[in-house]
Amino acid sequence: MRLLILFLISGSLFLRTAAAAEPDLVAGRADSRSIIGVEYNSLLYRSMIKFRNYEFSGLVLVKNLVSDSAVHIVFMSEFGPTMLDIKYKNDEFELISAKEFFNNEKLLGLVYSNFRMFLQDLDYVAKIKDKTGLNKETRKMKYRHLSDTFIYLYEGNFEVGKVIFRTNALNVVKLDIERNAEVVPTKLIYSYRGVPLDVSMELVKYKP
């Protein structure tokens, strides 16, 4: 009987330890951790965008504004003027203002989907497939949301390193995320199939 009790206690402890190490996996989904991977007040990136014959070079501010429970994304030129101002709230993007070549419906749609790959609130996703490789060094999360497919490949099972977004077989967007030691996303490189667009973002300032 003693042996049985010891076995049950030790078994229970083992399960608790495993759950503490990988809480998301035990829960079966990764929604307890954002795709960005870190808590942040704001992230400031320098950005280059090429769309058809146009190019934009400037700064992109990603601001987590607690007061309105929204994430604001502001594109501005080096000289300061805001070129595009959008926000992500309740799983929807809203246009605040757009100037010049950003005032383009197709481009705005692409910007929204680009940032959805990065900012998606997983609470709004109905069903997530989350698989970890047997060696526990690879992890893949996949879901369909708003008629599109999102695939997240984790690095070392912890942070998202690559995102693939598919509307159909022809339109595919890939996002590679580089991170620093604090796992803050330092470089975002988007590549596109079927769209004449290039986007890259490099971290300038991180405000926790």
Give the binding site for another protein (CB under 8 A): 42, 44, 46, 48, 54-59, 61, 63, 65, 72, 74, 76-83, 97, 99-102, 204-205
Query: Could you tell me the end-to-end alpha-carbon distance of the chain, in angstroms, rounded to an integer?
Result: 53
Q: Which is nearer to another protein, 102 or 152 (CB)?
A: 102
In whole angstroms, give the CA distance from residue 194 to residue 56.
20
Tell the smallest beta-carbon distance from residue 56 to another protein (Å): 5
Tell the smallest beta-carbon distance from residue 95 to another protein (Å): 13
Q: Which is nearer to another protein, 51 or 190 (CB)?
A: 51
Could you please report the per-residue DSSP string of the chain? Answer: -HHHHHHHHHHHHHHHHHHHH-HHHHHTS-TTS-SS-S--SEEEEEEEEEETTEEEEEEEEEEEEGGGTEEEEEEEETTS-EEEEEEEETTEEEEEEE-GGG--HHHHHHHHHHHHHHH--GGG-S-EEEEE-TTSSEEEEEEEETTEEEEEEEETTTEEEEEEEESSSS-EEEEEEEE-TT--EEEEEEEEESS-EEEEEEEEEEE-
Tell the smallest beta-carbon distance from residue 37 to another protein (Å): 22
86 touches 95 (CB < 8 A): yes
Q: Which is nearer to another protein, 105 or 123 (CB)?
A: 105
Q: Is the alpha carbon torsion for 35, 41, 46, 50 positive or negative?
A: positive
Q: Which is nearer to another protein, 77 or 191 (CB)?
A: 77
Q: Which is nearer to another protein, 99 or 193 (CB)?
A: 99
Tell the smallest beta-carbon distance from residue 44 to another protein (Å): 7
Tell the smallest beta-carbon distance from residue 85 to another protein (Å): 8
Tell the smallest beta-carbon distance from residue 198 to another protein (Å): 13
Q: Which is nearer to another protein, 72 or 116 (CB)?
A: 72
